[in-house]
Chain A
Amino acid sequence: MSKNKFKSLALIVVGTAAVVGCASLPSSAELDAQAQAMLKASFREEGIATMQRLDQDLGQKACSGAEAPSEAVSKQIEAESLASVKWPTGGQYLGDWKEGEKLAQNGRGMTWTDKSADPKGNGASCYNCHQIGPAEVSFGTIGPSLYNYGKLRGVKDVADPASAPIVQYTWGKLWNSKAYSACSNMPRFGHMKLLDEEQIRHLMALLLDPRSPVNQ
């Protein structure tokens, strides 16, 4: 091979590498930034569904990948979530299980076709993901079965101090599910104002009241 021929061949190789280089993807961080910009440009506000809904907090951001966040970040999310839980006024944890069942069945609320974001108009969507009462066969399986929830945990009397840990855990889980699992699929019903205190009391009764069909 002559020197000139070698030179032009080398140029072609370099040139090809440059083209391939251009065609390679941007860095992962750059792609993240592009995805953020894409979301901002693709969505628009509609009714109660504002663009602020795309502003992520720490947990939402950390749980937005195929991989779970680091142990340290998970612990931080859980600690902050637990600290944010508002415990029930006057230590009143339980309401009416019948109202709880209605809420559990109701999947309405918070979409752009809903008129108001007031929790009073919202359901709790529980059956979308959980088995709960024995009469309902149309239940989802994204979350664990909650059938016999209180009974299996030995709750015979919710006022009994022995029941306190499970009663408090259940309230905390309903108020802010991320307190116990950083990337839980479950919505943060109290924290995100999806349900009010009274509604959460009714769900507590559905799960824990020994008279609830869930615990029969």
Chain B
Amino acid sequence: MRRGWLALCVALCSAAPALAQKTAADGIAEYRKLLADGNPAELFEAKGEDLWKQKRGPKNATLQACDLGKGPGVVKGAFVELPRFFADTGKVQDLESRLLTCMSTLQGLDAAAIAKTPFGRGEQSNMEALAAWVASESRGARMNLPQGHAEERRMYEMGKRAFYFRGGPMDFSCASCHGTEGQRIRLQDLPNLTKNPGDGIGFAAWPAYRVSSGELWSMQRRLNDCFRQQRFPYPGYASDVTVALGVYMGVNAKGAESIAPAIKR
């Protein structure tokens, strides 16, 4: 895809580097706009809605009694308030860890087995469709994570510490790329996730359809790839560090309009 981008840049930009810096970004914005005309995430959303209503698992049950934080079965508006504290599990959960709970308790599916399944395969491909649909039901709503429960505030502090934690052979932390305004990796704009980065940016954009791989990436998968590029060890699916980072980014993004599932290069 980088090659494709370059070809696009060559076509759209002048060669002068100072000028190219601006026009290259313009070119990419144009490219994204063209892509957004039809977002294939819709296909995943439709699959997710079907899955939500479908009787599945050993208990042959639907997910329609699943409580995503606003009461059993309430999906609209739930996404922009996650992660949040759930009294029944005694934990702060993000969308995917909460869906895991519902798939396990309502449908009798094996949560641990799903967490171990590679992204894009088996129940994980169902999970990404479900995440896409639930997110789409809050499209246009503004991020509004609750911080009323002490555990929600504690997880924010955990997320903040994880965000700034430097390690690995390259000394990277999340903040290395996402702690400052207006920076890029190659041509990719990097949102500053220590504050509200703006409507539909960062936490308010994932899940997203990735054109480069033709896949729907959930927030868990996005974080997983961040850690891979950070050269860290492997983060467990729905592990505390991923949920804590969700709380940190989501609370910081308060007021940002959610456009998830967005479309990304």
Contacts and interface: CB of A to CB of B under 8 A. Distances in A.
B161 interface: yes
The SS class assigned to the A binding surface is loop
Given A42-B240, A64-B166, A112 B183 contact: no
Contacts of A113: 228
Interface string A109-144: 011110001000000000111010010011111100
Contact of B17 (A49, A60, A127, A134): A134
A140 B229 CA distance: 15
Nearest to B238: A42
Given A66-B194, A131-B17, A31 B161 contact: yes
Interface stretch (B58-66, B132-140, B169-177, B207-215): B169-177
Given A38-B241, A42-B236, A140-B184, A194 B171 contact: no
Interface residues of B, number: 55
Given A32-B161, A139-B187, A188-B171, 19 more contacts: A31-B157, A31-B158, A35-B165, A39-B165, A39-B241, A42-B236, A42-B242, A49-B168, A53-B231, A56-B165, A63-B166, A64-B166, A137-B24, A138-B5, A140-B186, A187-B169, A187-B172, A192-B171, A194-B169
Nearest to A52: B233
A43 B233 contact: yes
Contacts of A111: 228-229, 231
B235 A139 contact: no
Interface in B217-255: 227-229, 231-236, 239-242, 244
A128 B233 contact: no
Contact of A60 (B5, B13, B166): B166
Contacts of B70: none
A59 interface: yes
A216 interface: no
A104 to B, nearest CB: 12
Nearest to B245: A42
B74 interface: no
A42 B239 contact: yes
Nearest to A111: B228
B193 to A, nearest CB: 12
Contacts of A142: 176-177, 180, 183-185, 190
B84 to A, nearest CB: 16
